[in-house]
Chains A and B, each alone.
Chain A
Amino acid sequence: MTLPPSAIAIRGLCKSYGKAEVLHDIDLEIARGATTCLIGPSGSGKSTLLRCIAFLEEATRGTILIDGQPLGFEERPDGKRVRLPPHRIRAVRAGIGMVFQQFNLWPHMTALGNVTEALVTVKGLSRAEADARGMAQLRRVGLEARARHYPSELSGGQQQRVAIARALALEPAILLFDEPTASLDPELTGEVLNVMRDLGAEGMTMVVVTHEIGFAATVGQRIAFLDHGRVLLNGTPGELFAAPRHPRLTQFLETYLDRGAAMLLQPA
């Protein structure tokens, strides 16, 4: 059996809020087993694109294929776009995990409770089996010892790692991250980025919206640069950051200058 070449194939995707179109005709292929970083100025549509892939937002036009399977909507041969039945949407979504900027842990459940909730409620596993699997995921993010703690008893970095473990517990083929370190104190971003780096090294397919240009340049195998709702550039970090650089990207890097980007901007 040959797998489709892309983990995610986005074709002609448009998204409008009311009359305002915020994503214009996006075409993007996300490679399997690679880390793709989405960068771009605030308001360029990175979150909206990621949320469309997570099916938290419904695109207005276009298609998203996850491993070749249409997500949410299907284009019929006659050009009609039809909504798929809930069980088919559910089946495709099951392959996608999402990590949010605000962690979004459920405050009334322990770390382990957050990780095992869907294993019990959705997958129907026994408590014991769910706990075993949940502990394995917490071990993976280095938080086995914090399993019985509530989110309010954890640091931001620990909460985000629990959120990653929660997404991993369902064994998704694709993990989406929307600015996973943006609400963390600087000294806590490292522990989260390290977990993500490990996942990337294990061959997880990841799409990461980030302002950590250093992370994007070193961990991202592909980088897509969004600007005003379009994918302006798409390539390897080498291709994007090497001179001659696109003037919009240079402008963006100068605005969002961090240590990683400063390094990249130095003349070779």
Chain B
Amino acid sequence: MSFDVSVVLAALPAILSGLKVTLGIWLAAAAMGVVLGFVVAALRHFGPAPLGLALRLVVEVLRGTPFLVQIFLLYFGGPYVGLSLDPVPAGLLGLTVYAAAYFSEIFRAGFAAVPRGHVEAAHCVGLTRAQIVRRILVPEMTMLVLPQCVNMAVILVKETAVLSVIAVPEATGVISAIGSQQYAFLEALFLLAVIYWGLVEACGWAGRMIERRLSKFRFA
């Protein structure tokens, strides 16, 4: 099988539109997943115990099942409980909830990793509980978990490929469709690999930049 670049060039507009969907869903799901994950972690850390337990159960289920199964359940099972969504909203919702589960676990561990003494020192100088959360816990936790958050974002970019199974017009779906129409699977797959690798590298680079900026805030 020869490597046919012209196929790729001809399909460039379609590829770009797929890439745009991938990027859009990825960034939106990551952003909303971080926010939702933070809320869940905060409720688990500071909220009433029964709520914490319920949230923990949901998080465990989401982390313990394949994303592919979750997205099938949401898309094909959703209509049975009155949740009929188009592919893109379904994919976005599914990926956001999936991401939120993982982010919440990262944040929960982050809250737990802030030394007790830092909170005690804040109590001793008169900060209220709300002030301690805002001024001490959240910033310290954020510093601790940033590298893992970047890691999670990398995982997330790869999970967007799963959304092709519910016909979300993202890069994997679009490019593999072109590949099968034009009998150029290898070229298509190769291009896909390069695109995802590029995104992951960009993420890793951003992560290293952030870590370098943060290094001086590190615990002594």
Contacts and interface: CB of A to CB of B under 8 A. Distances in A.
B212 interface: no
A207 to B, nearest CB: 14
A2 interface: no
Interface string B106-118: 0000000001011
A102 B115 contact: yes
B121 A104 contact: yes
Contacts of A150: 216-217
A98 B217 contact: no
A167 B219 contact: no
Given A102-B115, A106-B140, A108-B139, A90 B126 contact: yes
Contacts of A151: 219-220
B124 A154 contact: no
A151 B131 CA distance: 21
Contacts of B217: 107-108, 150, 152
* Residue among B118, B120, B125 with the highest chain A CB neighbour number at 10 A: B125
A203 to B, nearest CB: 22
Nearest to A100: B117
A182 interface: no
Contact of A121 (B124, B135, B143): B135
B77 to A, nearest CB: 44
Interface residues of B, number: 22
Nearest to B134: A121
Interface string B38-52: 000000000000000
Nearest to A122: B126
A122 B125 contact: yes
Contacts of A166: 121, 125
Contact of A152 (B117, B123, B140, B218): B218
A117 interface: yes
A97 interface: yes
Contacts of B216: 150, 152-153
Contacts of A108: 139-140, 143, 217
B136 interface: yes
B126 A98 contact: no
B55 interface: no
B127 interface: yes
A170 interface: yes
12 contacts: A93-B126, A97-B125, A98-B120, A104-B115, A107-B217, A108-B143, A117-B127, A121-B135, A122-B126, A152-B218, A169-B125, A170-B125
